[in-house]
Structure 1
């Protein structure tokens, strides 16, 4: 069995080496004009990334902020494509735990807007989105709720989960960029319940099981 594994590892290593050799050979064939075009293309991509990042920061990305009320929530949903919003209640220890992790992730993932909203300030949204458990994190894309993290069940069903575990769970919805393994949680030693999608309703009151809950004021 061990010999078989070693053989497999060797085959993979050889395949990777051949790919690298092919790429190097391709680069060696490029003339000065080709290299200059490649450089210009890369510079253009870097500028686009920089401008996009600046636009995100201008829209409030890069920090974890508290929203005053439902009106501000709707305004944020119009400006940002991806939103991670914690619905919390004062005095909840688990909400403070979620706060800590989201604050860290907000600085790392500027491509999404991280925020929180006190459920006592948004009774309409709380009822419309059927939020029954605190904390609940709504994962929003294009003004529609795509997923929810309800309590800590999907995070290992414990209070001492890592920030990486929450990052992995949020990434399941596509709300943030993630380079890790989406199929396996970072904390493999702990049993993670299967993630189930739920049918939701639009805020206007219509059923919308395919695309989630529309966030329109």
Structure 2
């Protein structure tokens, strides 16, 4: 005797496959109906889009995007952020080991996401800015959009609470803040399996303004 649930599932899958097939047939029919002028216009639009994307990339590169750079002062911070849509700034201290871990990941992401400027600033050279942004844990990433601080990544809590998090985890976290163009699934982190004893804090897309943090991970010097 056939299982009714299996039959219903098979029928639903068949209908879904038929729908996809019909949609593909419709798209193929539209393509077949295009004449040479239509195809030429499509090529021109595609070429124009490529030219625009190339021009935008060159503009970003001219503003210091595409590489992870250290800036030397608070004054430099304000000039770097001015007229730049997306900025990730790593507030670090030379004696803090976890800052060096972030350096490695940020170097990789700066090359991949040229739409965002990646910079670092030594907190010992930026007392006013550190106080203004209420940065109390090192390392901290300040995530800025249109010149305003929208979010922070404080320590490694949002990255699985482990020093061995993959670059993709940090990339996902920055994507949650809309500070990079992230193409993956924002609803779940990229690593499904967590190491034994590690803790993962799910991050909601949010806006944080002037929040003071208490953290048990890497507060102050290591």
Q: Which residue among 97, 101, 126 is the counterpart of 1:93? A: 97
Of 137, 142, 150, which aligns to 2:141? 137
Pair 1:193-2:201 in alignment: yes
Q: Give the structure 1 partner of residue 217 of structure 2.
A: none
Over 3 Å counting, the alpha-carbon distance change for 1:13 and 1:173 in structure 2 is farther
Tell me the CA shift for residue 38 of structure 1.
1.0
Question: Greater relative contact order (Cα 8 A, min sep 6): structure 1 or 2?
Answer: 2
RMSD across aligned positions (CA): 2.2
The structure-2 alpha-carbon separation of the partners of 1:133 and 1:43, relative to structure 1 and needing over 3 Å to count, comes to same
**Is the CA contact (8 Å cut-off) linking 1:88 and 1:116 kept in structure 2?**
yes
Q: Distance in 1 between matches of 2:86 and 2:18?
A: 40
Cα distance in structure 2, aligned partners of 1:156 and 1:12: 38
Greater Cα offset, 161-170 or 21-30: 21-30
Q: Does 1:164 align with 2:171?
A: no
Q: Which runs of 5+ in 1 are unaligned?
A: 203-217
Q: Which structure 2 residues correspond to residues 28-177 of structure 1 after superposition, within 5 A?
A: 28-177=32-181
**Is the partner of 1:138 in helix, strand or coil?**
strand
TM-score by structure 1 length? 0.86
Q: Point out where structure 2 has 5 or more consecutive residues left out of the alignment.
A: 212-222
Does the 8 Å contact 2:150/2:208 carry over to 1? no
